[in-house]
Copies of this chain bind each other. A is one copy, B any other.
Amino acid sequence: MKIESLEDLREDFIGEKRVHIFNAGPAALPLSVLREVQEHFLNFRGSGMSITEISHRSTLFEEVINDAIDRTRRLLKLSDDYHVLFIQGGASLQFCMIPMNLALPGRPVTYINTGVWSTKATKEAHVQGKDVRVIPAPEDTDFSSLPTDFTVDKQSSYLHFTSNNTIKGTQWQQFPDAQGVPLISDMSSDFMSRPFDVRPFGLIYAGAQKNLGPPGVAVVIIREDMLKRVPDTLPTMLKYTTYRDKKSLFNTPPTFAIYVIDLVLTWLEETIGGLTEMEKVNKEKASLIYEVIDESEIYQGVAEVNSRSMMNVAFRLPDEKLEQSFLAEAGNNGFKGLRGHRSVGGCRASLYNAVTIDSVKSLATFMREFEEKS
């Protein structure tokens, strides 16, 4: 489809009363998934009940959660020594659970600090009195670039990093060299956006509300050897072993969120064709916007070029007044969620998996048109 102007694309969206969603999270979901949820909402698989009413102990729901686990395993090519868990509380509860479960007695924990989310994760290790080592981001770049050269204490219980930083829009294109220490990553904002080698990872976690589904659940992938560290003395709901032993069904899980995740994973496998295909699309989407920025006189990218994120493109305009007028006009044209994080301002286009290439092309066209006029 060749896009000549914004008008070529807008028609369809208005026909569906749907806007272009560039939200940072909760974020866009595939329209086909939303339609499926809607169609079957009163009668889940012929049960005569809504998905929100069926028992988490029913065969019907077991099929859903098992399918979600199997698809996760296939998409990430997980070997048998990895477990896929669903845990409530989002990435923020993982910030607490990780040091609680996985810090080894008398050994430090190491965090790479690349922004607000890494800082929050680190804080929870401090709160628990762990011996925390921090690898800082490059000085004076205000988190707009990632560290390249650092040494990890070999005694570290783990090396924690944030794979994608939503606020400034940076992303590890190559994961940090863990130097023999188990890697742990908060992948909330780029999980399932590209293929990667899981083997260096002891644990990966992702709040669902960017690439996977609605908020209210985190997917946690944990390697069996890490589970041996879990202290017996922890509260039941805060032990990773509880979720492994009970297959994430110790208590009632967020059934609706897991159901939507299963539909999104189905879309990812069957409609998109897997993570290699997804990455191609995501790269194309990101390059469409970065191209506009790189050719522009008014848009300035926030992240340094080598650290740029495929998921979140943060940019500024020359002054706040122009930013406000850009955001307002974008909103009037059906482009939503472009305001930068409340902690930094500016603009940001989040291009998660479910944001369509048509939406991104429309935005690129809009950005060019806005620049021409201004």
Which A residues form the contact surface with B (CB < 8 A)? 13, 16-19, 21, 23-29, 31, 34-35, 37-38, 41-43, 46-50, 52-57, 88-93, 95-96, 100, 123-124, 127-128, 207, 209, 213-217, 233-238, 250-257, 260, 334, 336-337, 342
List of B residues within 8 angstroms of A238 by Cβ: 96, 238
Are A256 and B336 within 8 A (Cβ)?
no
Residues of B within 8 A of A127 (CB): 233-236
Q: What's the minimum C-beta distance from A322 to chain B, rounded to whole angstroms?
A: 23
- The answer on a CB contact under 8 Å between A21 and B53 is yes
Contact flag A92-B237 (CB < 8 Å), given A216-B254, A252-B209, A257-B256: yes
Q: In the complex, how many angstroms separate the beta carbon of A115 from the nearest chain B beta carbon?
A: 15
A215 to B19, CA, bound (A): 29
In contact, B100 and A93 (Cβ under 8 angstroms): no
- CA gap between A340 and B13 in the complex, in Å: 49
> By the criterion CB–CB under 8 Å, are B34 and A55 in contact?
no
Residues of B contacting A47 with CB < 8 Å? 19, 336
16 contacts between A and B (CB under 8 A): A16-B42, A18-B42, A18-B49, A23-B53, A24-B55, A25-B55, A26-B55, A34-B41, A55-B337, A57-B342, A88-B90, A88-B93, A90-B251, A92-B236, A238-B238, A256-B257
| Contact yes or no, A256 B43, CB < 8 A | no
Across the interface, do A96 and B235 meet the contact criterion of CB distance under 8 Å? yes
Do residues A29 and B50 form an inter-chain contact, with CB atoms below 8 A? yes
Q: How many Å from the CB of A21 to the closest CB on chain B?
A: 6
Known contacts being A41-B37, A41-B38, A127-B235, is A48 close to B18, with CB within 8 Å? yes
- Chain B residues lying within 8 Å of A124, measured Cβ to Cβ, are 235-236
CA distance A108 to B84 in the complex (A): 38
B contact residues around A31 at 8 Å (CB): 42
Min CB distance A135 to B, Å, is 22
Q: A93: which B residues are within 8 A, CB to CB? A: 88-89, 237
Give complex CA distance A25, B253 in Å: 11
Determine if B43 and A17 form an interchain contact, defined as CB atoms under 8 angstroms apart: yes
State the Cβ distance, A70 to closest chain B Cβ, in Å. Answer: 22
The reply to whether A48 and B336 contact each other, CB–CB distance below 8 Å, is: yes
Q: Min CB distance, A240 to chain B, in Å?
A: 14
Interface pair A250/B92, CB less than 8 Å apart: yes
